[in-house]
Amino acid sequence: MNLLKFILYSLIAFFVIRFVMRLLYPPRNDRSQNSKNHRNTQSHKGSESLEKPKFTIEAEAVDYEIIEEPNRKNEK
């Protein structure tokens, strides 16, 4: 009889703790988030390749300026 009470109280405690934990920390929908990400990547992969650039910039000359830092006496 004591063993049955122990098992019954253990089950009740387990379900009460589980219920409280679900109230405090609701389960995440990992499946729905993964499927959303999967759908987004599928729609982008259709005709476009990730390796191909979307646009190219062509220039005949590049303007640049060399900036020299002044020598510091404290540096060795």
> Tell me, what's the pLDDT at 72?
73
- What pLDDT is stored for residue 60 in this prediction? 79
Q: Give the per-residue pLDDT at 44.
A: 53
CA distance 51 to 43: 16
43 within domain boundaries? no
52 within a domain of the structure (yes/no)? no
Containing domain of residue 18, as a range? 1-27
What's the confidence (pLDDT) of residue 17? Answer: 96
Q: What is the pLDDT of residue 7?
A: 96
Considering the entire predicted model, what is its pTM? 0.37
Into how many domains does the chain fold? 1
The per-residue pLDDT for 19 is: 94
CA distance 67 to 73: 19
62: in domain = no
Q: Is 34 domain-assigned?
A: no
Task: Count CB-CB contacts under 10 A for residue 6.
Answer: 10
The segments of the chain whose pLDDT lies below 50 read none
Torsion of CA 32, 23, 14, 5, to 10 degrees: -140
| Residue 15 confidence (pLDDT) | 97
Residue 66 covered by a domain: no
